[in-house]
Amino acid sequence: MSLLNTPQGNQPRWRSWLLTDTPTSRNHARVASLYQGWLSFRGNSMAMFGLIILVLLVLIAIFAPLLAPHDPFVQDLANRLKPLATDGHILGTDSLGRDILSRLIYGARITLYIVILVALIAPVAGLFVGTVAGYVGGWVDTILMRITDIFLAFPRLVLALAFVAALGAGIENAVIAISLTAWPPYARIARAETLTIRNSDYISAVKLQGAGPFRIITRHIWPLCISSLIVRVTLDMAGIILAAAGLGFLGLGAQPPSPEWGAMISEGRKFILDYWWVATLPGLAIFLVSLAFNLLGDGLRDVLDPKDDGS
């Protein structure tokens, strides 16, 4: 085989290895099904757009110290409220002369921190409550679902405000408050999914192998609920970011001088008529990331929906 042919000959080989209908090992099967999911995800250009923005956000958060032109906390009162494209401050400066671009870059870390923590706590709690309620049924179901109803009865931000006011202001407490208000919809979804799954033949079949309820819930019901939860989480991310920003805006989330985007809007509000960019730029950042999560969620729904992958 000539040198020129090798790369072209290789490409189809690993592709056909990944696209095979007859995988040869456990890992091969897993990788192949992931790759096929990725192919159908890649076909959705809007979802790819969302994914690219989020990957960029993660990279920006990781490499913030390298990317930021200035220290986000250093004040320079001689250079306050500089407009866009000022020398050395591309996105201008805020009321204390801090570089807005640097603050946005560092703010990505806080946004990701909030998003990841909430995404770890709320859906897991909801999944647990919902599947147990749906599978066990009876009075367990009644109690768990009435608790869920109580949480759902309050407007989300109002409930989060109450929690933060009780727990004290700060970013960790904001995360806890948002998570506490975010889990009930996940519990509802997980319960509804569980009710459709619990009487299916494949659950009966594994019962006939002597499997107990714990194994059935964690190994057989969770995998089927998780995909719809992931979709729901990505769609909710926008709301979570906005709730965190809202708490920051009200002074109950991240505390100054932390460059949290909601808090930055709050600070810029005082000058919004004369110095619009101070509040607008973090607002645009929130908008962009929320949009990216929504687009990603739409794409994931198409890929992950278990009802679609049967023949």
Partner 1 sequence: MSGIILEKLNVWFDTPETRVDAVKNVSLRVEQGESVGLVGESGSGKSTILRALTGLVPTWSGAMEVAGEKLGRQRSRHFYKKVQMVFQDPYASLHPRHSVDQVLSETLRLHGFNEIDRRISNLLTDVGLGPSFRFRYPHQLSGGQRQRVAIARALAPEPEILLLDEPTSALDVSVQAEILNLLVDLRQEHHLTYLMVSHDLAVVGHMCQQIAVMQLGEIVEIMPVAEMRELKPKHSYSRHLLESSLGYKRADD
Interface contacts to partner 1, rule CB under 8 A: 21-26, 28-29, 33, 200-202, 204-211, 219-220, 223-224, 306, 309-311
Distance separating alpha carbons of residues 232 and 32, to the nearest angstrom? 25
Please say which residue, 149 or 305, places its beta carbon nearer to partner 1: 305
Q: CB-wise, 213 or 223, nearer to partner 1?
A: 223
Q: How far is the CB of 90 from partner 1 (least distance, A)?
A: 48
- CB-nearer residue toward partner 1: 168 or 212: 212
Is the Cβ of residue 32 or residue 54 nearer to partner 1 in the bound state? Answer: 32
* Residue 197 Cβ vs partner 1, minimum distance, rounded to whole Å: 9
Q: From CA 202, how far away is CA 13, in angstroms rounded?
A: 36
The distance of closest approach from Cβ of residue 4 to partner 1 in the complex, given in angstroms and rounded to an integer, is 34
Instruction: Give least dist CB 302 to partner 1, A.
Output: 16
Nearer to partner 1, 3 or 208 (CB): 208
Q: Peptide bond before 257: cis, by omega within 30 degrees of 0?
A: yes
80 CB-near residues (< 8 Å, 6+ apart): 93, 94, 95, 96, 97
Closest distance to partner 1 from the beta carbon of 19 (Å) = 11
C-beta of 72 vs 123, nearer to partner 1: 123
Nearer to partner 1 among residue 30 and residue 42 (C-beta): 30
